[in-house]
Chain A
Amino acid sequence: MSDDDPPITVYRLQGCPFCERVVRKLNDLGLPYESRFVEAWHSRRDVVKRVSGKRSVPAIVDERTGITMSESGNIVEYLDATYGDRRERAAGPA
Chain B
Amino acid sequence: MAFDVTELPDTDHVAAGEQAPDFERPLVDREFWEDATLSDLLADAPVLLVFHTMDGDFPATYVWQELDDRDWEDEYGVQLVGLSISTPYEHSRFLEEHDLDYPLFSDPANGVAEEYGIVHDLDGMAGLSEPRISTFLIDGDRTVRHAWVSEEWPEFPDYDELESALEEL
Contact = CB atoms under 8 A, between A and B. Distances in A.
B40 A2 contact: yes
Contacts of B88: 37
B32 A38 contact: yes
Interface in A14-72: 34-39, 44, 46-47
Interface residues of A, number: 12
Contacts of A44: 92
B74 interface: no
B32 A47 contact: yes
B89 interface: yes
B43 A2 contact: yes
B26 A1 contact: no
Contact of A37 (B34, B36, B40, B41): B34
B158 interface: no
Contacts, number: 29
Nearest to B28: A37
Interface residues of B, number: 15
B31 A38 contact: yes
Contact of A39 (B36, B43, B92): B92
Interface in B14-56: 26-27, 31-36, 39-41, 43
Interface of A: 1-2, 11, 34-39, 44, 46-47
Given A2-B40, A37-B34, A47-B32, 18 more contacts: A1-B27, A1-B36, A1-B40, A2-B39, A11-B32, A34-B34, A34-B35, A35-B35, A36-B33, A36-B34, A37-B26, A37-B32, A37-B33, A37-B88, A38-B31, A39-B89, A39-B92, A47-B31
11 contacts: A1-B34, A1-B40, A2-B40, A2-B43, A11-B32, A34-B34, A35-B35, A36-B32, A37-B33, A37-B88, A47-B31
